[in-house]
């Protein structure tokens, strides 16, 4: 009877506390700092601030996310255990230093399996997406951000304890001796055990968290927090380290990053559900249920990549240490078939081409295993614009409920200028007939042809925005060699505005295809609110070959120089010898006129030596071994020939 009375009192007190907390949170008006930031000293610090009032609507009883403690079959350990580390990290897709934090936190998580909980909040100015980019922010994540003293991004807490006089620190130091290793060496006041199931059809998530206090907690009231996370979210990420800040984080550097432990929402409300008995021997199981949406802010919520994190805080809201935490991947349930493949997506990159002709490319497709068996094989049939199909007999491993991106065998096709369609059909999962018809789909891609220049002489006109130090560019020929490049430009302006950079004249080879690429290291282009920047390349007749300004991390354009043969240039019998050369390189030719300049250039477009005449010799013994370009220039055009110096 005494035990029944204790349990009843715990249940009533916890229910009342949870209802009051939920009502308080749903009426709270909070001011959110939207931080548009710049880089400084390894952190991302304030550019400027806007203030936005936002109401926090917490989940209460109506959505089934309110838990009441109850006694059940104990699975939690009742003997003292070491404390687990809980790392809360604040990040953003435009924070170039943030991958350093991602790498350190992921290292701690991987190297201490089951002992480190990682939660990655996308918040602040660096998380604000540009047009066309995914929005990984959440209202709860933004409120969480505002409750801590974050001076720059990335930032993190470790069990919310004060380290070196601050509750927040740069996550790159997560594995320092005074951080995760120190926490893991301590004895926790409370142990936790968690299970979770997720129905693939109804998308209902059920979570049970059991706790047992092996000693008295510092405070008489603690708070249970349960967060929904998502792993392997592929999307953009700016980096200042040429990818080396977190090499393992990239799917395809620098365009596709793999985000881990991304916060998607709390099941317990913003600051958790109260635990009102925190003395040694106190124990209960808290249960939560919630139906997951298909997406959050348009970002798909892939149920096969869900992770649940739970932790117990020893204070109200952001105050007080986190005592310990656990994380699990839910067990997927609700499968109606043992072997079932579902088409999820397909992709073929847009094509920049000098002319429409046969292309050989490797498309990708996303397949989801909707069967209870692990899928180890499938047949994938695909074509472009309804042309001759290719068939790939895929083998691999896709866990039940999981989705995998598969790179298909190369397919040769002749695309149309403009829009094209990739068609994909998957069948025969594990060698058996598919049960449903949701295994086919398509995607579109574009073919953009190069703009034809009227001459080999072109000019780059560039106007940078306030942050010219973020802008660089290059021009590459069809072989991928950089023939011209420029930037970064500085100093940056002290206010929003533009700077017209000096025009860059370029003399290019005849009948060649060139790619112009402009880069912005911050990832917001040169026309995003800090001045109306722009770029254009024009030929000598003022024809615009490429142009733009409103882009994210980079933009590209393709143009082609005109065809001019030896006859057009008034040249005959051109001979460049010996090739390869080691000491002397000779250039002989017959010409109609006498105004000819012969030059040797490296593959970066730098002119190393020039002479005039129709029979010239260059001393090349001091040149570094490698490939070079010989040019013969006239008023009518430029003749080029590749040479090797050994």
List, for residues 174-217, the tens digit of each pLDDT value: 999 999 999 999 999 999 999 999 999 999 999 999 999 999 99
Region of poorest pLDDT, from 29-38, 497-506, 566-575:
29-38
Q: Quick check: 475 and 514 in contact, CB under 8 A?
A: yes
Q: What is the pLDDT of residues 605-633, one digit of tens each?
A: 789 999 998 899 999 999 988 778 888 88
Q: Where is pLDDT greater, at 458 or 60?
A: 458
Q: What is the pLDDT of residues 516-549, one digit of tens each?
A: 999 998 878 899 889 999 999 998 878 899 999 9
The residue to which tokens 């002290």 are assigned: 494
Q: What is the pLDDT of residues 397-455, one digit of tens each?
A: 999 988 899 999 999 988 887 789 999 999 999 999 887 777 999 999 988 878 878 77
Region of poorest pLDDT, from 23-32, 294-303, 313-322, 513-522:
23-32
Whether the per-residue pLDDT at 322 is higher than 70: the answer is: yes
Q: Which residues pair with 520 in a beta bridge?
A: 471
The reported pTM is: 0.65
Q: What is the pLDDT of residues 206-255, one digit of tens each?
A: 999 999 999 999 999 999 999 999 999 999 999 886 667 899 999 888 88
- Identify the pLDDT of residue 579: 87
Whether the per-residue pLDDT at 364 is higher than 50: the answer is: yes
Whether the per-residue pLDDT at 300 is higher than 50: the answer is: yes
Whether the per-residue pLDDT at 589 is higher than 50: the answer is: yes
Q: Which domains does the chain have, with CATH numbers?
A: 2-333 (no CATH), 341-448 (2.60.40.10), 452-560 (2.60.60), 566-645 (2.60.40.3080)
Portion of the chain with pLDDT greater than 90, in percent: 63
Whether the per-residue pLDDT at 593 is higher than 80: the answer is: no
Query: Per residue, what are the HEC states of 96-161?
Result: CCHHHHHHHHHHHHHHCCCCEEEEEEECCHHHCCCCCCCCCCCHHHHHHHHCCCCCCECEEEECCC
d(C-alpha 233, C-alpha 296), whole Å: 12
Per-residue confidence at 604, pLDDT binned at 50, 70, 90? Answer: low
Whether the per-residue pLDDT at 64 is higher than 70: the answer is: no
Query: Per residue, what are the HEC states of 548-590?
Result: ECCCCCEEEEEEECCCCCHHHHCEEEEEEECCCECCEEEEEEE
Whether the per-residue pLDDT at 156 is higher than 50: the answer is: yes
- Identify the pLDDT of residue 477: 93
Region of poorest pLDDT, from 160-164, 382-386, 604-608:
604-608
């Amino acid at each position: 009877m005494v035990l029944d009375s204790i349990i009843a009192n715990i249940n009533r007190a916890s229910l009342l506390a949870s209802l009051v907390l939920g009502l308080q949170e749903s009426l709270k008006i909070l001011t959110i700092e939207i931080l548009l930031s710049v880089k400084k000293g390894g952190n991302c610090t304030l550019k400027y601030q806007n203030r936005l009032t936002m109401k926090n609507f917490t989940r209460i009883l109506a959505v089934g996310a309110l838990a009441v403690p109850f006694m059940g079959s104990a699975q939690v350990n009742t003997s003292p255990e070491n404390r687990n580390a809980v790392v809360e990290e604040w990040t953003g897709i435009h924070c170039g230093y943030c991958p350093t934090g991602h790498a350190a936190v992921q290292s701690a998580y991987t190297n201490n399996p089951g002992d480190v909980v990682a939660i990655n909040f996308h918040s602040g100015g660096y998380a604000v997406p540009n047009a066309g980019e995914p929005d990984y922010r959440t209202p709860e994540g933004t409120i969480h951000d505002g409750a801590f003293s974050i001076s720059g991004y990335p930032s993190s807490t470790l069990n919310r304890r004060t380290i070196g006089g601050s509750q927040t620190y740069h996550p790159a130091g997560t594995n320092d001796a005074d951080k995760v290793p120190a926490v893991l060496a301590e004895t926790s006041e409370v142990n936790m055990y968690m299970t979770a199931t997720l129905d693939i059809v109804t998308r209902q998530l059920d979570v049970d968290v059991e706790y047992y206090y092996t000693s008295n907690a510092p405070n008489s009231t603690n708070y249970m927090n349960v967060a929904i996370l998502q792993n392997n979210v592929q999307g953009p990420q700016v980096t200042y380290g040429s990818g080396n800040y977190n090499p393992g984080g990239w799917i395809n550097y620098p365009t596709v990053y793999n985000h881990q432990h991304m916060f998607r929402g709390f099941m317990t409300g913003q600051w958790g559900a109260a635990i009102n008995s925190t003395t040694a021997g106190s124990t209960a199981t808290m249960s939560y249920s919630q139906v997951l949406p298909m997406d959050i802010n348009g970002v798909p919520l892939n149920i096969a990549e869900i992770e649940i994190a739970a932790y117990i805080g020893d204070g109200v809201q952001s105050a007080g240490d986190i005592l310990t935490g656990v994380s699990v991947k839910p067990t997927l349930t609700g499968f109606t078939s043992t072997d079932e493949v579902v088409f999820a997506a397909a992709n073929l990159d847009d094509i920049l081409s000098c002319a429409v002709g046969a292309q050989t490319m490797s498309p990708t497709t996303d397949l989801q295993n909707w069967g209870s068996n692990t899928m180890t094989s499938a047949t994938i049939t695909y074509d472009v614009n309804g042309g001759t199909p290719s068939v790939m007999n895929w083998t691999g491993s896709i866990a039940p409920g999981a989705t995998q991106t598969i790179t298909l065998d190369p397919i040769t096709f002749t695309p149309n200028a403009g829009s094209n369609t990739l068609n994909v059909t998957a069948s025969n999962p594990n060698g058996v007939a598919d049960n449903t018809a949701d295994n086919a789909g398509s995607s579109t891609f574009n073919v953009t042809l190069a703009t034809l220049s009227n001459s080999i002489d072109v000019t780059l006109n560039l106007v940078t925005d306030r942050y010219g130090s973020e802008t660089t560019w290059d021009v590459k020929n069809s072989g991928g060699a950089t023939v011209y490049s420029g930037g970064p430009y500085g100093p940056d302006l002290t206010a929003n505005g533009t700077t017209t950079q000096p025009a860059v004249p370029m003399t290019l080879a005849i009948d060649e295809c060139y790619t112009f690429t402009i880069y912005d290291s911050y990832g917001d282009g040169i026309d995003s609110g800090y001045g109306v920047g722009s770029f254009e390349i024009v030929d000598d007749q003022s024809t615009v070959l490429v142009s733009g300004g409103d882009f994210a991390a980079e933009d590209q354009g393709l143009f082609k120089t005109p065809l001019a043969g030896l006859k057009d240039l008034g040249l005959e019998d051109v001979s460049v010898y010996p090739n390869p050369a080691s000491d002397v390189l000779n250039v002989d030719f017959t010409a109609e006129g006498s105004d000819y300049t012969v030059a040797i250039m490296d593959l970066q477009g730098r002119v190393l030596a020039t002479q005039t005449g129709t029979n010239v010799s260059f001393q090349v013994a001091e040149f570094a071994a490698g490939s070079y370009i010989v040019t013969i220039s006239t008023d009518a055009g430029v003749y080029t020939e590749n040479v090797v110096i050994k």
